[in-house]
């Protein structure tokens, strides 16, 4: 319960949240500790762990290492059922609402129950929307779904709202890791305007300006992975 309650509280207080995404496939185990120390000294508020292709053991070992070094909440952002580990503080239980692949709408979620039943992991129901971004990203390939075009902004808004009315606790607007274009300010504003639940935005954010634009447009939390992987001094840039 705790992780989601805190996100809601911080949203009420208008405190903006920043999650650093660590992809177990890209993070070398020997580099993890140093990276987490950088996160601890940064403005980041949460750590997400997940990727499109990683396996359980990699995720579990990495989460255990991260937890030993930080007080920040560590949240699973799984690309697949095999990445669920009880070592984390919470799990984003994602349903890919932008696509029409039943496996990623409900199939994987059903498969996950056998694992979740054995764990006492906080589960946060999250409506996940993949938005057009300028190139094909991993999410698109893995899930065999198309992102929602910018031109269909009303459909994006309606899809997010449908997720909320289905009882989801978060909406995540995703441009895809390494996206050329992050989710536009206009789309964020339009979605935010109709949403009561907290809004997460991620994919392709690689400057302080883009981060601030996402916040001022209405993102309660922004997720950044690639920009920190490529350049750890980006942590310091955000403080300035
Ligand atoms: C991807 O939204 C996250 O799922 C973060 O994307 O790696 O482009 O920061 P980046």
Amino acid 53: pLDDT: 72
* Domain extent for 120: 2-230
What CA–CA distance (Å, rounded) separates 207 from 60? 30
Domain of 114, CATH number, reads: 3.20.20.390
Mean pLDDT of the region 91-114: 98
The protein residue whose alpha carbon is closest to atom 4 in ligand 1 is: 177
Query: Is residue 237 included in any domain, yes or no?
Result: no
Tally of structural domains, the chain? 1
Amino acid 52: pLDDT: 78
Atom of ligand 1 nearest to the CA of 224: 9
163-220 per-position pLDDT tens digit = 999 999 999 999 999 999 999 999 999 999 999 999 999 999 999 999 999 999 999 9
* Residue 41 CA to its chain's centroid (Å): 21
What CA–CA distance (Å, rounded) separates 117 from 23? 25
Query: Is residue 147 included in any domain, yes or no?
Result: yes
Query: Is residue 152 included in any domain, yes or no?
Result: yes
Query: Is residue 74 included in any domain, yes or no?
Result: yes
Query: Is residue 220 included in any domain, yes or no?
Result: yes
Amino acid 118: pLDDT: 97
Amino acid 125: pLDDT: 98
CB 69 within 8 A of CB 27: no
Amino acid 65: pLDDT: 95
What CA–CA distance (Å, rounded) separates 66 from 96? 27
Ligand 1 centroid – CA 140 distance (Å)? 13
CB 6 within 8 A of CB 210: no
Residue whose CB lies within 8 A of the most ligand 1 atoms, among 174, 182, 188, 231, for a mutation test: 174
Query: Is residue 235 included in any domain, yes or no?
Result: no
116-162 per-position pLDDT tens digit = 999 999 999 999 999 998 888 889 999 999 999 999 999 999 999 99
| Cβ(210) – ligand 1 distance below 6 Å | no
Atom of ligand 1 nearest to the CA of 21: 5
Confidence of residue 28 (pLDDT cuts 50, 70, 90): confident
3-state helix, strand and coil shares in percent for the chain, rounded to the nearest 5: 45, 20, 35
Ligand 1 centroid – CA 206 distance (Å)? 10
**Which has more pLDDT, 57 or 11?**
11
Q: Which residues contact 227 (CB under 8 A, 6 or more apart)?
A: 205, 206, 207, 234
44-100 per-position pLDDT tens digit = 999 999 987 767 788 999 999 999 999 999 999 999 898 999 999 999 999 999 999
Query: Is residue 148 included in any domain, yes or no?
Result: yes
CB 73 within 8 A of CB 89: yes
Amino acid 51: pLDDT: 86
The region, left, alpha or beta by phi > 0 then psi within -120 to 50, assigned to residue 119 is beta
Amino acid 57: pLDDT: 84
Query: Is residue 238 included in any domain, yes or no?
Result: no
What CA–CA distance (Å, rounded) separates 42 from 187? 28
Amino acid 210: pLDDT: 98
Amino acid 8: pLDDT: 97
| Cβ(191) – ligand 1 distance below 6 Å | no
- Cross-strand partners of 20: 47, 224
What CA–CA distance (Å, rounded) separates 150 from 143? 20
Amino acid 224: pLDDT: 98
């Amino acid at each position: 319960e705790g992780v989601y309650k805190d996100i809601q509280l911080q949203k009420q207080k208008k405190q903006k949240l920043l999650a650093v995404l660590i992809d177990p496939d890209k993070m070398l185990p020997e580099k993890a500790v140093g990276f987490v120390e950088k996160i601890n000294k940064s403005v980041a508020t949460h750590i997400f762990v997940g990727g499109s292709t990683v396996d359980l053991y990699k995720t579990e070992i990495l989460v255990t290492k991260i937890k030993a070094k930080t007080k920040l909440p560590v949240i699973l952002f799984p690309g697949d059922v095999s990445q669920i580990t009880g070592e984390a503080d919470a799990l984003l239980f994602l349903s890919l609402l932008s696509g029409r692949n039943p496996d990623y709408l409900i199939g994987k979620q059903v498969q996950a129950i056998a694992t979740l039943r054995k764990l006492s992991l906080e589960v946060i129901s999250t409506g996940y929307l993949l938005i057009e971004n300028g190139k094909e990203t991993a999410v698109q390939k893995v899930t065999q779904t198309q992102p929602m075009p910018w031109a269909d902004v009303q459909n994006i808004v309606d899809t997010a709202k449908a997720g909320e009315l289905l009882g989801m606790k978060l909406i995540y607007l995703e441009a895809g890791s390494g996206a050329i274009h992050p989710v536009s300010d206009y789309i964020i504003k339009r979605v935010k305007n109709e949403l009561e639940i907290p809004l997460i935005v991620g994919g392709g954010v690689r400057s302080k300006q883009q981060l601030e634009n996402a916040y001022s447009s209405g993102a309660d939390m922004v997720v950044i992975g690639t920009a920190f992987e490529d350049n750890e001094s980006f942590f310091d840039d955000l403080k300035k």
